[in-house]
Structure 1
Amino acid sequence: MFNLSWGTVDGCKWGTYLHGVFHNDAFRRSWLDGIRVEKGLKTLRNTYSSNVLKEQEFDRIAEVVHQHIDVKLSLSKYLVMCYYKKYRHSNLFV
């Protein structure tokens, strides 16, 4: 399967500089199952979609923000502040 000793003396470390390589659910499951087999454990064939899980969590966070923050008021105050910072040296605020 995998030669986990590649690149390390003790075979306990593995890394990648490829951003997102573990985002692929099938690859990640296969890679982890390879480690499980080398450790004498059974493979875990059931998997989940990390994209679905992330979207569910984003929706949950958005709902909490929506319940506890007046987004329209916060955004309007932010925009007024930005506008003021941009034009404060003009004669608009005299």
Structure 2
Amino acid sequence: MCEATLDFLFFHTVYPLSFPRSLVGIKENVIILLVTADDRNLEESLGLTFYDSALVLQSLGTVEGMNLDGRGWTTMVVEDQVVNLSSDPHFSSKVIKGK
């Protein structure tokens, strides 16, 4: 089986579910992007599958990317402020307080 087929099977059968995600991507000019996708909020976001995560990073122009973490503890903090809608607000408050 070719590598592309194995990748397809992995992304679509092993991890087909959408969840909150934390991603990092590197652009060709070495700019690093940090991306957070929320879920559990139908008006804002439904989360991402691993495959969708790759598509998002590609659409942002990255040449390398990685899934860092996910699920309810996905939290993006900028200048001491949570900027995403974490599905676990108790955890995100601990991140802000440094606990």
- Asked if Structure 1 and Structure 2 have the same fold, meaning a TM-score greater than 0.5 normalized by the shorter chain, the answer is no
TM-score by length of 2: 0.26
Q: TM-score, normalised by structure 1?
A: 0.26
Which is greater in Rg?
1
Higher strand share: 2
